[in-house]
Amino acid sequence: MGKYSKLKGRILSGTADSNIEFRELCQLLIRLVFEERVRGDHHIFVKENITEIINLQPNGSKAKPYQVKQVRSILTKYMLGDADVDEIRSDYLLEQRR
């Protein structure tokens, strides 16, 4: 089990909402093929066929607990918890960083 699979498991379990690193949460969403836009400190994530927009802001180096809960809700609602986040295409990640 890789780093992002463990992170996804922690998010889905709901036991560490206040202890999730902001950068890792953003990277997890990118690995789940969300598109990221940044406006100031707002990181906005959208994905085709998902009606909700995820708007994240850091709280120091951590993600805000209520936003982790929102991400968990979307992961479960759209059954994204089964997606393999450790074996993601490296070309897609490179494209997102440009």
Tell me, what DSSP letter sits at residue 21?
B
More confident residue, 46 or 1: 46
For residue 20, give Cα distances in angstroms to 50, 58, 70, 74: 23, 10, 13, 16
The percent of residues above 90 in pLDDT, for the chain, comes to 78
Would the pLDDT of 5 be above 70? yes
pLDDT tens digit string along 56-86? Answer: 999 999 999 999 999 999 999 999 978 778 8
User: In the predicted model, what is the mean pLDDT of the chain?
Assistant: 90
| CA-wise closest residue to 47 among 61, 60, 33 | 33
For residues 97, 77, 68, 26, the Cα torsion angle rounded to the nearest 10 degrees is 0
Find the mean pLDDT for residues 27-43.
95
What the block records as the tokens of 87 is 């074996």
Pairwise CA distance, residues 26 & 22, whole Å: 6
φ, ψ for residue 43, nearest 5 deg:
-110, 115
Would the pLDDT of 24 be above 80? yes
This prediction's pTM: 0.87
